[in-house]
A and B are shown apart, each in its own frame.
Chain A
């Protein structure tokens, strides 16, 4: 009988203790971080304006304040050697420069400089990548949103590049409502089960797949992925216009998008190793990148 009582007591303690939530929260100690300027800027050759986002970094602390910038400036120097200062747009909160009278050619070096009071001046530069032409594109849209068993969409593109450099690319589709399926099951299945050809990653904004010349032999490539094409009430695909957008990007953009995909992947998972975000801003954080683009309409 005594043993039975002991057993019962043990079971109760075990059950109760397993149901207690045991987490502990701590305030993050005072910010052990020196604020630096953050640049976000990507433009495509052929754009009419260039936009630069400029802010300060912020410490991860309970009530860390993001410092206001005093006397900030952004200057870009193009291949003609002229430094042009960007103007701040209150509505977009971006620094902008019109490119109407600016000639940009593949191979040009474009430099950026930005600063503010009490911050180190930051620098970056990019070489405008060579053009790459899309010769053809064909899409098989078979996937549905949340049925794991269904096959994936398949996009086949043919491209032509006639330089000997090691090129980098980002590819995306453009249509209303397009995005990659980003539910966690789909992303896990995608990376773990389906072969992703070479170093292909879904980069930022759920729009791109990035890859490089070294990832495929020849000029034909298959990219398995999921899209959500709009359907009517009977589940039939609606007729839509869609374009394949192929960007020829710099290596810095390739590394940034590639690392960004892993940062997104790791950020909610305490069991995944930390990934360093690839950045190309000297004395600061963020990215300044350029691409060339070609488009082809899908039927």
Chain B
């Protein structure tokens, strides 16, 4: 422990001892017109060769020698901005970048900074929203999480669903943040859509390794999604109609350049079509509920040049159920799950070098399964109902500070205090029939657990070496206190002008995990805390890589190794809905996981054609004392080879096309490999080990195109896409079936070729 602290402090002060008189130029970078603050914008002085970048809130600070400076401000998707200034005092400025609608030529300016080579973290990928929006969309809905699944090192979960697995980790090991607030269920309609409405997303970054110290609580990845704040100058909106869902988006100033609002609503309507169909063809009165809606709303208020307040909420609701009405009874069943998020945040520019972000946040995920049946007997009407509920809530306060003492250091530090409330599965049973009344509740009671975390990190430059070093400390209280000091180190060494070597080491700890059936993840999977019996998950991850760029294309190759401890799984024979009298903790066993591999990635971000190509070769294992006789076995999503190719081309301002192609080795599944007969003559199928079989490889091509037309007051956009264009039957599940006095394996797919069209108007 002591050695980590010494290293950080010496690097904090070492460089400053060599500094001369400097002045600080600081401020914000915003998008011209909307005044949306832009993150990760490069600000570079071409005379002194010093630079920095904006933080998540668009703020930057750069200390330079007094004298003339020549600043170059650049961000992908925006026109570059140059200006000269004679720096004689601390200066505060706001830079407005114009969104680039011009088609760029292929020629790339050689002096331009290429982010990937200079990026300290080897495992960070930033995806521009344009690339997300141009990717072909399943059912017409642009989906951020489906684009994340197209990145190297990321495995998709089951076909069509939104779970993702990063370098061998499970879905719950991803910290998914919506404006800095964790979201516990990131999908709608059992995973067909994500909770992120692409119309309100400003940018997103995925960290697969080299995690900055300000992040904690998950061991495999961080997906940081930031939403727009609302246009401060003009009113804008968008209406979209697709085959199965629609969206409405509105934003604009409440008071110009002082306050703004943003509201976005989505709703699906599959059930409307289905109910109409049922009314026509079915005799029984039936009704299906299968829909989702979500609402994003945000408000920002500029108090003065240095202070801003933001308030935001997100509400998302899903329901999947049906009702059957018969002459003597009514049966109703529904699965419902919903997310609620609320946040209030205060950004303050304390000084030219010091920025703070303080927030209070709330996140709530609730799952319910209701079944009720009412008997309409003429002599006695009675209702029998059960309700299963699982819930997690989080209330937190966060303080975060950016301190930029000089161009060689960028220090971030802060603290978070979180109060978790868990309700890991309760069942209520009611039967009001006179002869046998029941009204009881079974299962786990509510558990409250607080967590405290502190962190400090510094991004520093020493000659050819850039380092991002930090410490994250967290403590979780649950009748027993768990705590861990987690070092985070990322190094980037410039071997040559355009080639850098990268190394990272991360220690992570996770106190909250998702307990799910290994075969399939469902919204009924429950979030559970670490307890006195269950230790927190933790991991070590090491990465070594090379990055370069050539003619505007970034290349990288990374080797990684990750060791996970205390991963959770149901014991053999245990399940959520069996033996509900048994405490849920006693149904769980803990073990370890290991993954390692090599990733190749190339990405082109500028020009008429953009996209990326990724290839990953990896292995991924699990081992539990109480499963598979203690022998390690392949993790379900262990895919030896995976390939992702994404391409989009803009032919003109009015027409663009895109395509994606993915390939992955088949999932590991458990299939019986021998049969024994039990004494009543019945065969038992037995597998001698877990995940002993591979499904067929998965591959799929999606294509899409977009037609834009400028109308009087709006832009009309037609989007056409085809999911699974060559109709590959990708296996969703697998089983043994009888066949000619023997047996065969049957793979069943669920998603056919799915065309889609959507119409949008942007105004």
Q: Do A and B bind each other?
A: yes
A interface residues, Cβ below 8 angstroms from B:
3, 6-7, 9-11, 13-14, 17-18, 20, 22-28, 31-33, 38, 40-42, 53, 55, 57-64, 142, 148-149, 151, 191-199, 204-205, 258-260, 262-263, 267, 270-277, 285-286
When distances are taken between beta carbons in the complex, the residues of chain B under 8 Å from A32 are 673
When distances are taken between beta carbons in the complex, the residues of chain B under 8 Å from A42 are 679
Q: Which chain B residue shows the least CB distance to A29?
A: B745
**Quick check: is B3 within 8 A (CB to CB) of the other chain?**
no
| Contact indicator A197/B581 (Cβ below 8 Å) | yes
| Contact indicator B753/A27 (Cβ below 8 Å) | no
| Contact indicator B749/A23 (Cβ below 8 Å) | yes
| Contact indicator B680/A273 (Cβ below 8 Å) | no
| Contact indicator A28/B743 (Cβ below 8 Å) | yes
Q: How far is the CB of A113 from chain B (nearest CB, A)?
A: 19
When distances are taken between beta carbons in the complex, the residues of chain A under 8 Å from B673 are 31-33, 59-60
Contact of A151 among B435, B678, B720, B749 (CB under 8 A): B435
Q: Given A38-B677, A60-B736, are A17 and B742 neighbors across the interface (CB < 8 Å)? A: no
Q: Which chain A residue shows the least CB distance to B577?
A: A192
Instruction: Map CB proximity to A onto B429-453 as digits: 1 under 8 Å, 0 otherwise.
Output: 1010101100010100000000000
| Contact indicator A25/B739 (Cβ below 8 Å) | yes
B interface residues, Cβ below 8 angstroms from A:
243, 329, 371, 373, 375, 382, 384, 386, 427, 429, 431, 433, 435-436, 440, 442, 517-520, 570, 572-573, 575, 577-582, 670-680, 684-688, 690, 696, 718, 720, 727, 729, 731, 733-737, 739-749, 752-757
Contact of A262 among B431, B433, B573 (CB under 8 A): B573
Q: How far is the CB of B629 from chain A (nearest CB, A)?
A: 8
| Contact indicator B747/A40 (Cβ below 8 Å) | no
| Contact indicator B433/A259 (Cβ below 8 Å) | no
| Contact indicator B670/A14 (Cβ below 8 Å) | no
Instruction: Determine the distance from Cα of A285 to Cα of B373 in the docked complex, in whole angstroms.
Output: 45
When distances are taken between beta carbons in the complex, the residues of chain A under 8 Å from B678 are 40, 204, 260, 286
Q: Given A64-B742, A148-B384, A285-B686, are A14 and B243 neighbors across the interface (CB < 8 Å)? A: yes
For the complex with contacts A148-B373, A193-B429, A260-B678, 7 further pairs of A-B residues with Cβ separation under 8 Å are A24-B746, A25-B737, A32-B673, A148-B384, A151-B436, A274-B572, A285-B686
| Contact indicator B520/A271 (Cβ below 8 Å) | yes
Q: Given A262-B573, A270-B734, are A61 and B742 neighbors across the interface (CB < 8 Å)? A: yes
When distances are taken between beta carbons in the complex, the residues of chain A under 8 Å from B729 are 22-24
16 A-B interface contacts by CB (under 8 A): A20-B752, A23-B748, A27-B745, A40-B677, A55-B677, A61-B742, A63-B740, A64-B742, A151-B436, A192-B577, A195-B580, A197-B581, A199-B582, A262-B573, A273-B517, A273-B518
Q: How far is the CB of A251 from chain B (nearest CB, A)?
A: 15
Instruction: Determine the distance from Cα of A263 to Cα of B690 in the docked complex, in whole angstroms.
Output: 14
| Contact indicator B739/A62 (Cβ below 8 Å) | yes
Instruction: Determine the distance from Cα of A3 to Cα of B759 in the docked complex, in whole angstroms.
Output: 10
| Contact indicator B718/A3 (Cβ below 8 Å) | yes
Instruction: Determine the distance from Cα of A57 to Cα of B579 in the docked complex, in whole angstroms.
Output: 32
When distances are taken between beta carbons in the complex, the residues of chain A under 8 Å from B572 are 273-276
Instruction: Determine the distance from Cα of A87 to Cα of B373 in the docked complex, in whole angstroms.
Output: 57
| Contact indicator A199/B579 (Cβ below 8 Å) | yes
Instruction: Determine the distance from Cα of A10 to Cα of B723 in the docked complex, in whole angstroms.
Output: 12
When distances are taken between beta carbons in the complex, the residues of chain B under 8 Å from A25 are 737, 739, 744-747
When distances are taken between beta carbons in the complex, the residues of chain B under 8 Å from A58 are 674-676
When distances are taken between beta carbons in the complex, the residues of chain A under 8 Å from B743 are 28, 60-62
Q: Which chain B residue shows the least CB distance to A198?
A: B581
Q: Which chain B residue shows the least CB distance to A205?
A: B680
| Contact indicator B742/A63 (Cβ below 8 Å) | yes
| Contact indicator A149/B384 (Cβ below 8 Å) | yes
When distances are taken between beta carbons in the complex, the residues of chain A under 8 Å from B580 are 192, 195
Q: How far is the CB of A253 from chain B (nearest CB, A)?
A: 13
When distances are taken between beta carbons in the complex, the residues of chain B under 8 Å from A63 are 740-742
| Contact indicator A33/B754 (Cβ below 8 Å) | no
Contact of B733 among A28, A62, A271, A286 (CB under 8 A): A271
Q: Given A18-B752, A42-B679, A271-B520, are A259 and B741 neighbors across the interface (CB < 8 Å)? A: no
Instruction: Determine the distance from Cα of A11 to Cα of B242 in the docked complex, in whole angstroms.
Output: 12
Q: How far is the CB of A110 from chain B (nearest CB, A)?
A: 18
Q: Which chain A residue shows the least CB distance to B755?
A: A10
When distances are taken between beta carbons in the complex, the residues of chain B under 8 Å from A62 are 739-740, 742-744
Q: How far is the CB of A281 from chain B (nearest CB, A)?
A: 10
When distances are taken between beta carbons in the complex, the residues of chain A under 8 Å from B734 are 270
Q: How far is the CB of B25 from chain A (nearest CB, A)?
A: 52
| Contact indicator A149/B740 (Cβ below 8 Å) | no
Q: How far is the CB of A269 from chain B (nearest CB, A)?
A: 9
Q: Given A6-B720, A7-B757, A192-B577, are A149 and B731 neighbors across the interface (CB < 8 Å)? A: no
Instruction: Determine the distance from Cα of A195 to Cα of B747 in the docked complex, in whole angstroms.
Output: 36
Instruction: Determine the distance from Cα of A66 to Cα of B749 in the docked complex, in whole angstroms.
Output: 32
| Contact indicator A263/B755 (Cβ below 8 Å) | no
Q: Which chain B residue shows the least CB distance to A193?
A: B386
Q: Which chain A residue shows the least CB distance to B696?
A: A24
When distances are taken between beta carbons in the complex, the residues of chain B under 8 Å from A275 are 572-573
Instruction: Determine the distance from Cα of A196 to Cα of B164 in the docked complex, in whole angstroms.
Output: 36
Most buried by A among B243, B680, B752: B752
Q: Which chain A residue shows the least CB distance to B374?
A: A149
Most buried by B among A25, A193, A272: A193
Most buried by B among A3, A24, A63: A24
Q: Which chain B residue shows the least CB distance to A7?
A: B757
When distances are taken between beta carbons in the complex, the residues of chain A under 8 Å from B519 are 270-273
Q: Which chain B residue shows the least CB distance to A26?
A: B745
Instruction: Determine the distance from Cα of A20 to Cα of B686 in the docked complex, in whole angstroms.
Output: 32
When distances are taken between beta carbons in the complex, the residues of chain A under 8 Å from B687 are 274
Instruction: Determine the distance from Cα of A3 to Cα of B243 in the docked complex, in whole angstroms.
Output: 14
Instruction: Determine the distance from Cα of A60 to Cα of B747 in the docked complex, in whole angstroms.
Output: 16
Instruction: Determine the distance from Cα of A200 to Cα of B743 in the docked complex, in whole angstroms.
Output: 33
Q: How far is the CB of B278 from chain A (nearest CB, A)?
A: 16
Q: How far is the CB of B48 from chain A (nearest CB, A)?
A: 56
| Contact indicator A14/B747 (Cβ below 8 Å) | no
Instruction: Determine the distance from Cα of A58 to Cα of B742 in the docked complex, in whole angstroms.
Output: 11
Instruction: Determine the distance from Cα of A7 to Cα of B382 in the docked complex, in whole angstroms.
Output: 48
Q: Given A148-B384, A272-B519, are A24 and B676 neighbors across the interface (CB < 8 Å)? A: no
Q: How far is the CB of A91 from chain B (nearest CB, A)?
A: 15
Q: Which chain B residue shows the least CB distance to A20?
A: B752
Q: How far is the CB of B745 from chain A (nearest CB, A)?
A: 5
When distances are taken between beta carbons in the complex, the residues of chain B under 8 Å from A24 are 696, 729, 731, 746-747, 749
Contact of B578 among A6, A31, A151, A191 (CB under 8 A): A191
Instruction: Determine the distance from Cα of A80 to Cα of B366 in the docked complex, in whole angstroms.
Output: 63
Q: Which chain A residue shows the least CB distance to B427?
A: A193
Instruction: Determine the distance from Cα of A139 to Cα of B677 in the docked complex, in whole angstroms.
Output: 34
When distances are taken between beta carbons in the complex, the residues of chain A under 8 Å from B573 are 258-259, 262, 275-276
| Contact indicator A13/B755 (Cβ below 8 Å) | yes
When distances are taken between beta carbons in the complex, the residues of chain A under 8 Å from B739 are 25, 62
When distances are taken between beta carbons in the complex, the residues of chain B under 8 Å from A60 are 671-675, 685, 736, 743
Contact of A22 among B382, B674, B752, B756 (CB under 8 A): B752
Instruction: Determine the distance from Cα of A22 to Cα of B724 in the docked complex, in whole angstroms.
Output: 13
Instruction: Determine the distance from Cα of A58 to Cα of B683 in the docked complex, in whole angstroms.
Output: 10
Q: Which 9 A-B pairs have the closest CB atoms?
A: A17-B752, A40-B679, A62-B742, A274-B670, A151-B436, A270-B733, A22-B729, A10-B755, A192-B577
When distances are taken between beta carbons in the complex, the residues of chain A under 8 Å from B671 are 60
Instruction: Determine the distance from Cα of A23 to Cα of B435 in the docked complex, in whole angstroms.
Output: 49
Instruction: Determine the distance from Cα of A88 to Cα of B570 in the docked complex, in whole angstroms.
Output: 43
Instruction: Determine the distance from Cα of A191 to Cα of B576 in the docked complex, in whole angstroms.
Output: 10
When distances are taken between beta carbons in the complex, the residues of chain A under 8 Å from B718 are 3
Instruction: Determine the distance from Cα of A20 to Cα of B755 in the docked complex, in whole angstroms.
Output: 15
When distances are taken between beta carbons in the complex, the residues of chain B under 8 Å from A286 are 676, 678
| Contact indicator A285/B676 (Cβ below 8 Å) | yes
Q: Which chain A residue shows the least CB distance to B753?
A: A17
Q: How far is the CB of B56 from chain A (nearest CB, A)?
A: 40
| Contact indicator A17/B735 (Cβ below 8 Å) | no
When distances are taken between beta carbons in the complex, the residues of chain B under 8 Å from A33 are 673-674, 688
When distances are taken between beta carbons in the complex, the residues of chain A under 8 Å from B674 are 33, 57-60, 285
When distances are taken between beta carbons in the complex, the residues of chain A under 8 Å from B440 are 195
When distances are taken between beta carbons in the complex, the residues of chain A under 8 Å from B517 are 271-273
